[in-house]
């Protein structure tokens, strides 16, 4: 349990030689505005908060290069009594980093009419 005004976090540094997609499952049990955020290179990409969010999948594309991935659970203030038993926790599971699927460039096809009922394809 995190006391009001505190954070718990973990991060990883990655160096990608090609564009990739990072994805993971996450869940949280918190009283908003407390919650879990995910950021890349200091820019928040997504956040979740609430009493019964349930496991959700999140994915985002990253360009080639070095990146800092950071997950932060923040407890902004002491919870107000609501009768709902918040765990004041966030969970992250099954992180993956996979290459982006790129569409192959279709070859250029030219058709030239060379005679009646005859075409040249190149």
Q: What share of the chain is helix, strand, coil (3-state, %, to 5)?
A: 0, 60, 40
Q: Assess if residue 1 is contained within a domain.
A: no
pLDDT at 11 over 80: yes
Q: How many residues does the chain have?
A: 122
Residue 64 pairs with which residues in a beta bridge? none
Distance separating alpha carbons of residues 87 and 51, to the nearest angstrom:
8
The residue behind tokens 């009594």 is 81
Tokens of 79: 């919870």
For the chain, the average pLDDT equals 83
The residue behind tokens 């990883």 is 12
**Residue 107: band (very low, low, confident or very high) from pLDDT cuts 50, 70, 90:** low
Q: Assess if residue 91 is contained within a domain.
A: yes
Q: Assess if residue 61 is contained within a domain.
A: yes
- Read off the CATH number of the domain in which 79 is found: 2.60.120.200
pTM above 0.75, yes or no: no
Domain encompassing residue 30: 6-121
Q: How many domains does the chain have?
A: 1
Q: Assess if residue 103 is contained within a domain.
A: yes
Report in angstroms the alpha-carbon separations of 106 from 24, 99, 103, 109, 112. Answer: 33, 20, 9, 9, 19
Q: Which residue has the higher pLDDT, 21 or 5?
A: 21
Distance separating alpha carbons of residues 28 and 59, to the nearest angstrom:
17
């Amino acid at each position: 349990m995190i006391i009001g005004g505190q954070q718990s976090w973990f991060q990883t540094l990655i160096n990608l030689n090609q564009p990739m997609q990072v994805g993971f499952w996450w869940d949280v049990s918190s009283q908003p505005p407390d919650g879990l955020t995910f950021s890349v290179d200091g820019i928040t990409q997504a956040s979740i908060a609430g009493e019964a969010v349930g496991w959700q999948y999140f994915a985002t594309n990253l360009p080639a290069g070095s990146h800092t991935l950071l997950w932060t659970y923040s407890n902004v203030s002491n919870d107000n009594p609501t009768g709902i038993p918040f765990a004041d926790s966030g969970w992250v599971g099954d992180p993956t980093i996979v290459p982006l699927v790129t569409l192959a460039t279709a070859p250029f096809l030219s058709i030239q009419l060379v005679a009646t009922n005859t075409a040249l394809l190149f």
